[in-house]
């Protein structure tokens, strides 16, 4: 264990769940026994159809929901014994709808809200806020009212307000829905940079193109269970399991599968790879 500044000691395995089950008050069994380890530096995508339990899982990982049975450990401590505010220092969670988080009169105030709540000293708050504003490219918007911004910008503010708490893990719930292609790409590039700087990213999404291009590991959820946990290449080489959970792989992956009998491998994930394989097979044949 490496000692950390935030009280909860650091571990390689930042989050681990054992037989995690969660049942909502109405009786919906949203999580039915998950065993999941998130290691430091991971870039994990959680995919699955509507109602498969992705959001519930995210809320269980940062302690907003406590397990009905089983455990969620964050840096070796069970979330059932920690306050959400303590866990927030380690696991940040940007909600699906940014309008559920924004209330301040300027972007800068909004981003400050989290670190101030966590009680960081003024100097450190200022540093963290600056870094978050830079990471989400909000420099020009910092004095504006968050609620007056476009959806894509509001989402960046809400993500920045979580990054500013400087958590080791960043969970993002469908961050690209409602964004245009440009905004989406910009956001994904920012996340890639954060991951390269050492942040662990957990991305909940329906967008399989984003998954193919960014995630290193993919967890497929269906009916409150994990039906697949593999590196992203593994997921795209098995189209059957994606079909089962109503997920459509990106066109380039489907094309590669159609070309399988012409010698194109199953695990092509990007246009560049497909071009490379095509040229190679032509050169060979």
Ligand X SMILES: Nc1ncnc2c1ncn2[C@@H]1O[C@H](COP(=O)(O)OP(=O)(O)OP(=O)(O)O)[C@@H](O)[C@H]1O
210: phi then psi, degrees, rounded to nearest 5: -60, -40
| 121 part of the interface to another protein, by CB under 8 A | no
Tokens of 245: 């959970």
Select the binding partner of residue 103 from ligand X, Mg ion, another protein, none (C-beta < 5 to 8 A, by kind): another protein
Q: What is the dihedral of CA 101, 103, 105, 109, to 10 degrees?
A: -50
Residue 100 near another protein by CB under 8 A: yes
CA distance 118 to 203: 24
What are the structure tokens assigned to 156, written together?
């960046």
User: Is residue 64 within the footprint of another protein (CB under 8 A)?
Assistant: yes
Q: Which does 52 bind (CB under 5 to 8 A by kind): ligand X, another protein, Mg ion, none?
A: ligand X
Is residue 57 involved in binding another protein (CB under 8 A)? Answer: no
Among ligand X, another protein, Mg ion, none, the one that 48 touches (CB under a kind-dependent 5 to 8 A) is: ligand X
Q: Which is nearer to ligand X, 51 or 70 (CB)?
A: 51
Q: Rg of the Cα trace of the chain? A: 20
Contact window for another protein (CB under 8 A) among 35-43, 79-87, 211-219, 228-236: 79-87
Alpha helices by DSSP H, listed for the chain, are 54-61, 84-87, 107-117, 122-135, 151-163, 181-196, 208-214, 232-236, 239-244, 251-258, 271-284
Binding site for ligand X (CB under 6 A): 24, 26, 28, 30, 48, 50-56
Q: Rounded to whole angstroms, how far apart are CA atoms 183 and 194?
A: 17
User: Which option in another protein, Mg ion, ligand X, none does residue 276 bind, with CB closer than 5 to 8 A by kind?
Assistant: none
Name residues contacting another protein, limited to 17-46 (CB under 8 A). Answer: 25-28
Among the candidate windows 3-11, 157-165, 174-182, 201-209, which touches another protein by CB under 8 A?
157-165
Considering the rule CB under 8 A, would residue 92 count as an interface residue with another protein? Answer: yes
Binding mask 173-212 for another protein (x = CB under 8 A): ----------------------------------------
| 69, 119, 272 from 73: Cα distances, Å | 13, 23, 39
Q: Single out the residue of 41, 152, 167, 54 nearest to residue 114, CA to CA.
A: 167
Q: 79-91 burial, b for 16+ CB within 10 Å, e for fewer?
A: beebeeebbbbbb
**Residue nearest to Mg ion as judged by C-beta position:** 55
For ligand X, the closer of residues 136 and 221 by Cβ is 221
If we measure between CA atoms, which residue out of 75, 73, 50 comes closest to residue 60? 73
Of residues 15, 31, 88, 129, which one binds another protein by CB under 8 A?
A: 88
Mask of contacts with Mg ion, 20-59, x by CB under 5 A?
-----------------------------------x----
């Amino acid at each position: 264990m490496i000692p950390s500044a935030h009280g909860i000691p650091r571990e390689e395995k930042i989050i681990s769940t054992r037989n995690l089950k969660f049942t909502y008050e109405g009786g919906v069994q949203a999580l039915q026994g998950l065993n999941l380890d998130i290691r430091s530096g991971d870039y994990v995508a959680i995919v699955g159809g509507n109602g498969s339990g992705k959001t519930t899982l995210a809320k269980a990982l940062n302690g907003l929901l406590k397990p009905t049975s089983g455990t969620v450990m964050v840096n070796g401590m069970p979330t059932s014994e920690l306050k959400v505010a303590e866990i927030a220092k380690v696991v940040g969670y940007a909600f699906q709808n940014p309008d559920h988080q924004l209330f301040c009169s300027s972007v800068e105030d909004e981003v400050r809200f989290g670190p101030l709540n966590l009680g960081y000293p003024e100097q450190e708050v200022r540093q963290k806020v600056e870094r978050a504003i830079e990471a989400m490219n909000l420099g020009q918007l910092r004095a504006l009212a968050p609620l007056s911004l476009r959806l894509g910008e509001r989402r960046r503010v809400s993500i920045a307000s979580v990054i500013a708490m400087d958590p080791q893990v960043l969970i993002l719930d469908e961050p690209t829905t409602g964004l245009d292609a440009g905004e989406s790409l910009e956001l994904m590039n920012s996340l890639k940079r954060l991951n390269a700087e050492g942040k662990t990213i957990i991305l909940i999404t329906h967008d399989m193109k984003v998954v193919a291009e960014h995630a290193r590991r993919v967890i497929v959820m269906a009916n409150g269970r994990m039906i697949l946990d593999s590196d992203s290449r593994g997921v795209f080489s098995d189209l059957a399991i994606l079909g089962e959970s109503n997920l459509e792989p990106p066109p380039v992956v489907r094309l590669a599968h159609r070309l399988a009998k012409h010698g194109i491998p199953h695990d092509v994930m990007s246009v560049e790879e497909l071009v490379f394989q095509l040229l190679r097979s032509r050169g060979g044949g």
